[in-house]
Amino acid sequence: MLENKVKRVISFLSPTIIPILFIIFWDLAARKIGNNAILPQVTAVAKHFININDNIIGIGTIPKNILYSLVRVFIGYVLAIIVGLPLGLLMGYSRRVKGALNLFISLFQPVPAIAWRPLVLGWFGVMSVATIFNLDYGPTYAIMDNFKLSMIFLIFLSAFFPIWGNTMFGVSNVQEVLVESALVLGASKKDIFFHVLLPGAGPNIMNGLKSGLTAAWSCLVAAEMLPGSMSGLGYLISHAYELARMDVIVAGIICIGVIGALFDGIYSRISNKYFSWQRLVR
């Protein structure tokens, strides 16, 4: 009994050992260097999380900036799902559609989202959720104007490819014998799609959704460095850089990392719960 408890405590603590060592090492190094502009001390960074509601470097609190970033990622990500998922399903299902579109879409895949920045700025300028919905000037406008189309488009692009690609791969890799066994049971084309290909591709689709969110979140810093942005974690970091505030930069990086890891953890949970069959099939 006791042994089991000890084991459980150890397995709970073991993932924290390396981060703790890392923090100790970091603090030792920071004290040795003694220059906050090169490597800030742990306490200098930690104080941003302790006084979480302080207005940092004149651009609002950390939670407010996180919220703006999350909303941007969310909008771009949802758009990527709306476009990428059906397109991936269709292209995985129909060889003809795949033949017609695959080359074209694949051409864009290797281009990093940030390379689109100049073009995207040219297209969308300072258009934002506030301007496209023609909001009146006021507090709502001020908030909605933070969600620039250019930024959302870049996030959309980076999330689109993993979602689209994994979905297409998943559908076209469903075992033929499963399709055939449904056919001999009298399945229609619609049945094959909804009862064989879609669930069969489930694990890959989940994987695509997960990679898509990770990619979108990583793209955030780049997108938020676009002109016109006045908030968000990416902006926090680039603005802190201009002020040589290393402690703020590190705090921002920690936020990006922790939130990204949370996303990953949520998706892994869902995958394990609903799609364990793929791992367990012999």
Partner 1 sequence: MDNIVFKLNNIGKVYNENEKNELVVIKNLNLEIKENEFLCIVGPSGCGKSTLLRILAGLELPTEGEIYYRGKELKKPTKDIGMVFQNYSLMPWLTVEENIALGLKFQNAPKKKQKEIVDEHLEMIGLTKFRNSKPYELSGGMQQRVAIARSLANNPDVLLMDEPFGALDAYTRIQLQKELLRIWEKHKKTIVFITHSVDEAVYLADRIILMSKNKGAIEVDIQVDIPRIRDRANPRYAELNQQLLDALEELNKDE
Instruction: Provide the minimum distance between the beta carbon of 191 and partner 1 in the complex, in angstroms, as a whole number.
Output: 5
Instruction: Provide the minimum distance between the beta carbon of 88 and partner 1 in the complex, in angstroms, as a whole number.
Output: 19
Cβ proximity to partner 1: between 143 and 179 the closer is 179
User: Does 106 sit near partner 1 (CB under 8 A)?
Assistant: no
DSSP-derived secondary structure letter, 234: H
Cβ proximity to partner 1: between 191 and 264 the closer is 191
Cβ proximity to partner 1: between 123 and 274 the closer is 274
Residues 236-255 close enough to bind partner 1 by CB under 8 A: none
Name the segment binding partner 1 (CB under 8 A); options: 68-76, 130-138, 199-207, 254-262: 199-207
Which position has the token pair 């700025």? 121
Cβ proximity to partner 1: between 55 and 181 the closer is 181
DSSP 147-204: SBHHHHHHHHHHHHHHHHHHHHHHHHTS-HHHHHHHHTTT--HHHIIIIIIHHHHHHH
User: Does 281 sit near partner 1 (CB under 8 A)?
Assistant: yes
The 3-class secondary structure across 1-69, one letter per residue, is CHHHHHHHHHHHHHHHHHHHHHHHHHHHHHHHHCCCCCCCCHHHHHHHHHCCCCCCCCCCCHHHHHHHH
Instruction: Provide the minimum distance between the beta carbon of 185 and partner 1 in the complex, in angstroms, as a whole number.
Output: 4
The 3-class secondary structure across 239-278, one letter per residue, is HHHHCCCHHHHHHHHHHHHHHHHHHHHHHHHHHHHHCHHH
Residues 156-195 close enough to bind partner 1 by CB under 8 A: 177-178, 180-188, 191, 195
Interatomic CA distance for residues 30 and 21, integer angstroms: 14
Instruction: Provide the minimum distance between the beta carbon of 200 and partner 1 in the complex, in angstroms, as a whole number.
Output: 7
- 259, 271 Cβ separation under 8 angstroms: no
DSSP-derived secondary structure letter, 115: G
* CB within 8 Å of 242: residues ≥ 6 apart: none
User: Does 200 sit near partner 1 (CB under 8 A)?
Assistant: yes
Name the segment binding partner 1 (CB under 8 A); options: 9-17, 18-26, 103-111, 197-205: 197-205
CA angle 25/256/70 to nearest 5° reads: 160
Instruction: Provide the minimum distance between the beta carbon of 172 and partner 1 in the complex, in angstroms, as a whole number.
Output: 17
Handedness of CA 232, 238, 241, 243 (dihedral sign): negative
User: Does 114 sit near partner 1 (CB under 8 A)?
Assistant: no
Cβ proximity to partner 1: between 26 and 275 the closer is 275
Task: Pull the structure tokens for residue 62.
Answer: 């950390």
Task: Pull the structure tokens for residue 256.
Answer: 């990006």
Instruction: Provide the minimum distance between the beta carbon of 175 and partner 1 in the complex, in angstroms, as a whole number.
Output: 8
Cβ proximity to partner 1: between 155 and 174 the closer is 174
Binding residue count for partner 1, defined by CB under 8 A: 23
- 65, 232 Cβ separation under 8 angstroms: yes
Instruction: Provide the minimum distance between the beta carbon of 210 and partner 1 in the complex, in angstroms, as a whole number.
Output: 18
Instruction: Provide the minimum distance between the beta carbon of 81 and partner 1 in the complex, in angstroms, as a whole number.
Output: 21
Cβ proximity to partner 1: between 122 and 186 the closer is 186
Binding interface with partner 1 (CB under 8 A): 177-178, 180-188, 191, 195-196, 199-200, 202, 275, 277-278, 280-282
